[in-house]
Amino acid sequence: MAESFNFRPMVSLPDELSGVQGIWLCVERNMVLMQVSEGRPKLPEGGHPRDFGLYSDHEHFLGLLDGVPVWAAGFDQPVRSDDFQAQNLFSLSAQLDTGTWALAGRAVQIVEWHRTHQFCGRCGERTEPAQGERARKCPSCGLLNFPRLAPAIITLIERGEEALLARGRNFGNPMYSTLAGFVEPGESIEEAVHREVREEVGVEVTNLRYFGSQPWPFPHSLMIGFHADWAAGEIAIDEAEISDAKWFHADDLPNIPGRISISRWLIDDWLRRQGRG
């Protein structure tokens, strides 16, 4: 949520900027290549990856950051270079500011989409870039493929000075978080909140308040955040997805997610309203 971050998404490079040095997000197997210079990793800059010794398989213009072109470049084979380190998005979150980290997530998703949409899903013909938009088009049947996004809701359930947090079965760390789940076809995001909460912890909620959203590139989610008030019901967890869920008092919280995620922002906002933090 970096308001001062001045990125303007665009589909093609304006003619007058042809050949201008840009920032390159070089993507290899969902990892971003950081250039190691004087022991410190940074994003490489140049007119093209060959300027810094890399040979990409495809390039995608992403837009302008403070007027500077930003590109994604895809590498279909592992890059072997002592000057570059491949890093995953989680480790990059600690090195890049929020806005640049979101650009890295954007680059990883565009490159992966390009790699997985070379052929039409309907007729099998080889696809081509569509004109004027970020899409690939089938020349035979006309099917358009846009980069894939999976909307997911994420909800903090409040009951005064308590909040309901759950521990997912797939969490690596002993950590409690807000409830999240994908929106289903034909469902509104509000309906998804009510359904997910009911399915995962068995309670009913009311008074949904939209909080904000966050692109979450693991692999292509868009998290849509809500606060909600508990309305009825006792906790009854879905044991396939949740290993534990409890009401936690604002003064006695467990280990919660790190500051990069909207889950934490939802919790921090509630804590502020409780006069903590």
CA 121 vs CA 83, 101, 179: distances in Å: 38, 31, 33
Q: Which residue has the tokens 């007729």?
A: 123
User: Which residue, among 181, 204, 201, has the nearest Cα to 192 in the 3D structure?
Assistant: 181
- Site for Zn ion (CB under 5 A): how many residues? 8
Q: Contact 24/46 with Cβ under 8 angstroms?
A: yes
Instruction: Point out which span in 106-114, 138-146, 151-159, 237-245 binds Zn ion (CB under 5 A).
Output: 138-146
Burial 206-219, CB ≥16 within 10 A → b, else e: eebeebebbebbee
The residue (of 73 and 138) whose beta carbon lies closer to Zn ion is 138
**With binding defined as CB under 5 A, does residue 242 bind Zn ion?**
no
Question: Which is closer to Zn ion, CB of 117 or CB of 246?
Answer: 117
**Which one of 36-44, 72-80, 119-127, 265-273 is the stretch in contact with Zn ion (CB under 5 A)?**
119-127
Q: Work out whether 143 is an interface residue with Zn ion (CB under 5 A).
A: yes
Task: Choose, by CB under 5 A, the member of 94, 141, 149, 150 that binds Zn ion.
Answer: 141
Tell me if 173 contacts Zn ion by CB under 5 A.
no
| Under rule CB under 5 A, residue 140 binds Zn ion | yes
Note whether 138 binds Zn ion by CB under 5 A.
Answer: yes
Residue among 167, 152, 158, 173 at smallest CA distance from 269: 158
Q: Is 62 in the site for Zn ion (CB under 5 A)?
A: no
What lies within 8 Å, CB to CB, of 58 at 6+ separation is 73, 74, 111, 114
Q: How far is CA 60 from CA 65, 104, 221, 225, 244, in A?
A: 15, 13, 20, 30, 43
Does 123 bind Zn ion (CB under 5 A)? Our answer is yes
**Contact between 122 and Zn ion (CB under 5 A)?**
yes
CB nearer to Zn ion: give 125 or 161. 125
* Residue type at 273 in one-letter notation: R
Which span (137-145, 169-177, 211-219, 222-230) binds Zn ion, by CB under 5 A? 137-145
Binding residues (CB under 5 A) for Zn ion: these are 120, 122-123, 125, 138, 140-141, 143
